[in-house]
Amino acid sequence: MAFHGVDYYALDELLTEEERLVRDTFRRFVDEELMPIVAGHFRHGTFPRELPGRLGALGALGASLHGYGCAGLGPVAYGLIMQELERCDSGFRSFASVQGSLVMYPIHAFGSEEQKQRWLPEMAAGRAIGCFGLTEPDFGSNPSGMRTVAKRTGSGYVISGEKRWITSGGLADVAVVWARTDEPEAPIRGFLVERGTKGFTTRDIEGKFSLRASVTSELIFEDCEVPQSALLPGSGGLKSPLSCLNQARYGIAWGAIGAAMACYDEALRYTRDRVQFARPIAGYQLVQLKLVDMLEDITNAQLLAWRLGRLKEAGKARAQQVSMAKRHNVRIALHAARNARDLLGANGVTDEYQAGRHMCNLESVFTYEGTDHIHTLILGQDITGLSAFD
């Protein structure tokens, strides 16, 4: 059934014509091409291999970057793409987030001209796939403790260590890998490690309850020799990977609205139709309370994301503001998914409906790109001036 949007406060009026056009293009694409296949991929734990090429053809990959075959869209248009993709599935948005914000962005920001020419046009078209390796088995929220090292040799570096929970790891042609070097000024540097490099292997993580239509992997580096040209020359310090996270967290703030809208839309339709005690359940006060909470939360999330987008456009968005939008919007989306699942009764636990899938997916979204706690502490530090991390 076609999705007509959730816009209680006429927020469409705040969008430019181009932004609405981009949103409507992706809305149609999602309804026609992704909705029919998503439940099957989630059920079987498979990733649609045609997705990168289709997203590339539509200009969704690295959409806010300029040059090198990228679409050069503004932040709000980019956000609306993430919203529509995640309206279908967080795993599909994750693929696009990682490719654009966590792989193409660092190549664009920190790469040499040769690295940009080699990778960005291929990645924008979806012909090459990338992944971003920051998290390690023992260092998730605290990446500053990473153990992966890159030791200098005469001609390059030898990388040793392990990355875990890496989106698209098993699919990727190239991994952006963050490793500790012995350079005193800014020891953490980024490297581009290509699939097939000796000493580099990947292993997919099985048995996920969440993001089942996305590939999540381990990256293993055993004395993996890379040339000097693998180094992202402009990277230096933890600040570099954290600045990539700002881009991806921004996209998640929009994406989560999509998941929440899908759950609200489904719950509204279902409760109007479902009759218990001789009346549609949408007529009961407790049910209306849940529907109204969802709509109000979505409206707040839309305003937050829109304003953050306009600040970003003006070059004024702070990382802490991105944290608030990621934290708030994922929270409300998870809440909406749990409530929608409830309102669907037993049907809510099957993949015939979306709410249960979104609910499971959003548990990962709550955890990745900075857990809810971590964003709380980032904001706590910002308003008190006191760090709770130290």
Residue 192 DSSP one-character state? E
Applying CB under 6 A, does 99 fall inside the site for ligand TGC?
Answer: no
Q: Nearer Cβ to ligand TGC, position 165 or 306?
A: 165
CB 110 within 8 A of CB 190: yes
Q: Has 19 been annotated as catalytic?
A: no
Residue 77: contacted member of ligand TGC, ligand FAD, none (CB under 5 to 8 Å, by partner type) = none
Kindly tell me which residue out of 238, 268, 311, 379 binds ligand TGC, with binding defined by CB under 6 A. Answer: 238
Nearest to 248 by CA among 84, 79, 80, 363: 79
SS3 sequence of 115-156:
HHHHHHHHHHCCCCCEEEECCECCECCCHHHCCCEEEECCCE
Residue 144: contacted member of ligand TGC, ligand FAD, none (CB under 5 to 8 Å, by partner type) = ligand TGC
Q: Which stretch binds ligand FAD (CB under 6 A): 48-56, 108-116, 128-136, 255-263?
A: 128-136
Sign of CA dihedral 105, 55, 252, 315: positive
Give the CA angle between residues 27, 30, 35 to the nearest 5°: 135
Q: Which stretch binds ligand FAD (CB under 6 A): 112-120, 126-134, 283-291, 299-307?
A: 126-134
CA dihedral defined by 126, 197, 159, 93, rounded to 10 degrees? 20
At 18 the three-state DSSP class reads: helix
CA-to-CA distance for 289 and 303, rounded, in angstroms? 21
Q: Which stretch binds ligand FAD (CB under 6 A): 47-55, 164-172, 261-269, 378-386?
A: 164-172
Among 84, 122, 266, 369, which one carries the catalytic annotation?
A: 369
Q: Which of residues 113-172 bind ligand TGC (CB under 6 A)?
A: 132, 134-135, 141-144, 167
Strand (E) or helix (H) holding 327: helix 319-343
Kindly tell me which residue out of 29, 178, 306, 368 binds ligand TGC, with binding defined by CB under 6 A. Answer: 368
At 201 the three-state DSSP class reads: strand
Q: Which of residues 32-91 bind ligand FAD (CB under 6 A)?
A: none
Nearest to 329 by CA among 349, 353, 356, 306: 306
Position 237, amino acid: G
Applying CB under 6 A, does 255 fall inside the site for ligand FAD?
Answer: no
The CB-of-80 to ligand FAD minimum distance in angstroms stands at: 23
| Contact residues for ligand TGC, defined by CB under 6 A | 94, 97-98, 132, 134-135, 141-144, 167, 237-239, 242-243, 245-246, 248, 319, 368-370, 374, 378, 389
Query: Which residues form the catalytic set?
Result: 369
| Contact residues for ligand FAD, defined by CB under 6 A | 98, 132-135, 140-141, 165-167, 211, 216, 364, 367-368, 371, 373-374, 377, 389
